[in-house]
Structure formats: C-alpha cells, structure tokens
Amino acid sequence: METQKKILVLCGGKFAFKALQLLAYEKFICAIGIGKGNYTTIDALERESEENNFGFKSFPDNKSISEMRNWIDTIQPDYIFCISFPFLLTESILSYGQNKFINFHPGPLPQYRGPMPIFEVLKNQENETAICAHFMNTKFDEGNIIFNDPITIETGDTYGKLSVKLSEHMAQVALNMANMLQFANNIPNEPQDETQSYYYEKPDLSDTYINWKRMTAEEIISLINACNPWNNGADATLLGEQIKIISAYLLNEPHENQPGTIVSFTHTLNIACEDNKQIAIEILKTDYGIITASQYMTLNPVMTGILN
C-alpha cells in the first residue's frame, strides 16, 4: 500500500463542509485554508483543524494571498484542492508544482466559467449541471479538465436547493478525485474547448431583473428560482414599485392583459406574461419586508379595488 496522499483544501466556507468532513474521515486532509468567510465559519474550521491536527490559515483578503506560498511550503501537501475559494492563485503559488492544484467548479466547463454557475444554469433552464474537476492555471476556470461529474437539475430547484445538492455531491466528487490521485499512474485530462467556453461575470441587476415584455413565463420562473435565496428573489417592478419575487409557479392559463400586469388574485398574485401564460406569485419582498401574496393584497387596497 502506498502512503496516503496529503491534501490541503482551500475553501470559501460552508459549501465545502461536507467535502471537508468526508476527506478528513478518509484521512486525506493535512491542512485547511479559508478565503474571506464569516467569523463563525472561520472559528469552526480553526477549532476542527486544531482538534484534528490539521494546518489552518485564514485568507481574509486578496492581499493576504501573498502569504500562501510560504504556508504551502511549510505544509508540503501532495495536492491542493480548491472548493469555492474566492481568490485567484498567483503564478508564484501555482509554481509549487505542476498539476498539483485542482479546482472543483460547481458548474460544467468550459460552458459555465465564472463565479456563480449555479445561478447561470438555473437561469438558462438547463436540465443538468456538473461539478468540474480541473487543473488550475493563472486564470479563473481555464485549466485542463479532468472530468465533469454530472448532476440532474430537478423541476423547482432553487439556487439554495441546488447549492445544497451540489455541496453534498461535492463531498463524493472530491473523495473520488482524492482516490484517483492516490491510485492512478496517470490522470487523464484535456485542454478546454475554447469554442464552447463562456465566462459569466457575477450577475448584476440587469441579470436578475424580470423584463415582463421580453421574458416568457418559464424564463421568469427560472430566474426567480435562480435568485432564491442569494438575491432575496428576482428583481421586478409591479404597480410602479420595486419588488423582489421570491417564490412563484407557472400558471398555464391564457389572459388578455399587458405583460407585467395583475390578472387576478386567488391565494396567489397572478401576473400576465408575454407568452399568454401567467405566473402565480406566492412570496415576495417589498419595502414592508418579506410577505405572502395575501399580505401584499391587504397592503394594496387600491389594487384590490381594481380587481373587484
């Protein structure tokens, strides 16, 4: 039996916890580094690292990355795994060893490069996403691909639900990768097909905003799910007010209204879409806070009058 490989994991917080647990259980972890992260997460990881005799270091900002190479040299890991680590690793860090750094990107590559692939696959109504294990270079998400491990997107998956599913799947994928490094003579890998590649920037208002005139009902539902919970819902204008729609479903009923206007109110707020379908809003965020459709109706008596 060959000596167990020592893996240093660089992570961004809670999303990597299950992978850390499994890798630690299988005795692969030698050290943990966290980028940004809140105090609770940092404290929890530091405590666990102390108890298990792992090296630990927090990298609160981009400037602190300059301390990483020395730290890695002290730890001397066989490989470095990155799971949602927020900072780009510099050439001086990567020169620790060729094909020693492996990133686990929570979206299929090369099609979904960028910081929030979970948002993008949901918004684009994909049926499947993937966790891509790839060697790292000095650019985000561009190194040679080892594998894309697929995972099905279920109808109704939100950003939150899919993140939890991916975090659980990440644990097994990271362990599989560790086992592969442990046993393989050769790690098959391929350069990314640049003709298939796309880099999505971090979404801004133009990406999370519902355009009632241009978007179909299904596109709107997908956007709402893609924004729940990280953006507190999809941004929209309703009755001239800026709101966020947190939860809604497709209502396959025709209407004769302008897109973006209220067709009816049952226990949901039913809005006309440009493809002659409606969406039924259940929960939304307004200046009053996060409220149900019924509460919204009570707060907008004028609108109730219109509907009556």
**Which of 61, 190 has the CB closer to another protein?**
190
Instruction: Give yes or no for residue 95 binding another protein (CB under 8 A).
Output: no
Q: Among 81, 147, 200, 212, which residue sits at the site for another protein (rule: CB under 8 A)?
A: 147
Min dist CB 212 to another protein, Å, is 35
Among 62, 74, 179, 266, binds another protein (CB under 8 A): 179
- How many whole angstroms separate alpha carbon 299 and alpha carbon 49? 51
Q: Which of residues 194-253 bind another protein (CB under 8 A)?
A: none
Q: Closest separation between CB of residue 180 and another protein, Å?
A: 5
Q: Does position 164 bind another protein by CB under 8 A?
A: no
153 contacts another protein (rule: CB under 8 A): no
- By rule CB under 8 A, what string of x and - marks binding of each residue 55-94 to another protein? ----------------------------------------
Angle at 70 between CA 88 and CA 17, to 5 degrees: 55
**Six token digits for residue 8:** 């240093």
Check residue 99 for interaction with another protein (CB under 8 A). Answer: no
Four-point Cα dihedral 225, 220, 152, 195, nearest 10: -120
What tokens appear for 267 in the block? Answer: 């226990």
Min dist CB 147 to another protein, Å, is: 4
Provide the binding-site residues for another protein, judged by CB under 8 A. Answer: 1-2, 133, 146-152, 172-173, 176-177, 179-180, 182-189
